[in-house]
Amino acid sequence: MQTQPMRRASFLSLTMALQAAVAAAACSYDRAKPHPLTSRRTQIAHLLRRAGFGASKELLDEYEALGITRAVDRLLDYEQVPDDVEERVGKLGLNLRRLADLQRWWLWRMVYTKRPLQEKMVLFWHGLLVSASSTVGLPNPTPQNPNPPHYMLDQHNFFREHALADFETIVLGISRDPAMLIYLDSRTNNKGKPNENYARELFELFTLGIGNYTETDVREAARAFTGWGILNGKFAFRSNNHDSDSKTVLGKTGPLDGKDVVKLAVEHPAAARYLSRRLFEFFAYPGPSERDLEPLVRAYVASKGSVKVMLHALFTSPAFYSPKAYRALIKSPVELVVGGLRSLSIVTDGNSLPGVTTRMGQALFNPPNVAGWPGGSHWINSSTWLQRVNFCNALLTARNDSRTIVPAVDKMIERHGLKTMEATVEFFGDLVLDGQLSPAMRQALLDYMSDRQATTASPRGVPAAPRALPPPPSRTAFADRKVRGMVYLLMASPEYQLA
């Protein structure tokens, strides 16, 4: 029987092996070909994965016809795009006072929105300006108070409404947000007994980063935020609890209040670089250089912190489409789940989705701590890997029922005129992995489709004969069994775990 240390060592070894496999997949494209991000279609697919959650073939075609410049404009100017997701999600009859329904409501929106960047930015802010339902709580109606305020939902709607606003508007709004006032104890921050929790996180995690403020700045800023609280479910300033004496914060002295501190923070030189780095690492790749960040920093300064202007600079920058950016981010559970549904055009009521993402390590509306989800390789361990693979399997083996209409792969084969197994592998390989299949993976998929043992390569210069798909009506059964299985193998690959 294994001892506890031995079991722990085995677990750590497996986790490290899984993480290494995914990291290696980031460099697995065929280097005999030009880099994938030199073609317009792959650039568009990359853009839609990063500025959204991926896309079906039809949506890829639509955005490819626009070209990069117009595609970026369409994503950023999302208010000009008609979207019926609000009306459609309302028909699900969800009780948003329940955490599972609240999570399902948001996940469903991500799957079916025509404004993917808006939802992606809500996810970004939710992971940066963090509050959690486990601390804030959810509304609990009583006869005396049948309609209590829903602080987590109100915060979420604030993020959606101001997703691309200027940084000062966003930070000031979240500083006054009741969910945040509860989460970081600002409502108990009173004159004579300042609570430093919010002031510290405002500087360290929200705006400046470690090393760009002092402990004195934290103490003085906490005094400036005294008197901020909640009354009847809304932000309220309690002047009798506010310290109106002089304070010195980030080099500025005077009878500062919380609004003054927010302004000082977002106008500090470190704020431009801090937000630029957070946006860059969320949308492009980890560990950017100062040169990588410079276009975003310039956009921040020139636009007085407009997130929309910063993202335009990012999505049109050479770095965003560089080899270093391609498949450089591990998909979060939300990105994996939502992206899988969107790419295969699956119709579902989303009933199972909250449990799926939670088991993978991402419970929406309930990040683990004020730093949010660590992301990156932390998404991958032996448990979450199994959940990821099981989800991909569930997508491809599900059958139509009252909750889900599964992908009709036979109809996709017919609609796109696929006649051979080779064409079918190429079609789904393009959709799922931008066509970046190694020769070994392509051969393995073809062997699986044809029920052959692994074959040897054809003689040099002699192409293998195409293998025809079964004729109708047996093609439907073949698609249901073999094509679904082949797509599962693509989606269960380490490469698919990368955005």
For residue 289, pLDDT beyond 50: yes
Q: How confident is the model at residue 400 (pLDDT cuts 50, 70, 90)?
A: confident
Percent of the chain with pLDDT over 90: 84
In tens, the pLDDT along 370-380 reads 999 999 999 99
Residue (of 374, 353, 407, 312) closest to 57 by Cα position: 407
- Which helix H or strand E contains 237, and what residues bound it? strand 234-237
pLDDT of residue 36: 87
Computed over every residue of the chain, the mean pLDDT equals 92
For residue 70, pLDDT beyond 80: yes
pLDDT of residue 34: 73
Q: What does pTM read for this prediction?
A: 0.93
Alpha-carbon distance of 314 to 317, in angstroms, equals 5
Residue (of 310, 307, 221) closest to 258 by Cα position: 221
Q: Are the beta carbons of 184 and 221 closer than 8 angstroms?
A: no
Average the pLDDT over each of 28-42, 178-192, 220-234 and give the range with the smallest value.
28-42
Q: Are the beta carbons of 221 and 243 closer than 8 angstroms?
A: no
Bigger pLDDT: 465 or 198?
Answer: 198
Alpha-carbon distance of 106 to 100, in angstroms, equals 10
| 3-state SS record for 164-189 | CCEHHHHHHHHHCCHHHHHHCCHHHC
Q: How confident is the model at residue 22 (pLDDT cuts 50, 70, 90)?
A: low
For residue 14, pLDDT beyond 60: no
pLDDT of residue 465: 77
Alpha-carbon distance of 326 to 402, in angstroms, equals 38
Helices 57-76 and 307-315 pack at an angle, to 10 degrees, of 130
- Looking at residues 325-332, what average pLDDT do you find? 97
Enter the tokens of residue 79.
Answer: 């208010």
Distance set, CA 18 to CA 21, 22, 283, 489 (Å): 5, 6, 23, 16
Alpha-carbon distance of 371 to 373, in angstroms, equals 7
In tens, the pLDDT along 110-158 reads 999 999 999 999 999 999 999 999 999 999 999 999 999 999 999 999 9
- Looking at residues 468-477, what average pLDDT do you find? 90
Q: How confident is the model at residue 11 (pLDDT cuts 50, 70, 90)?
A: very low
Q: Is 306 in a helix, a strand, or coil?
A: strand
For residue 12, pLDDT beyond 60: no
In tens, the pLDDT along 414-440 reads 999 999 999 999 999 999 999 999 999
Alpha-carbon distance of 20 to 339, in angstroms, equals 23
Cα 281 from chain centre: 12
Half-sphere exposure in the Cβ direction for 381 (13 Å, CA)? 11
pLDDT of residue 402: 79
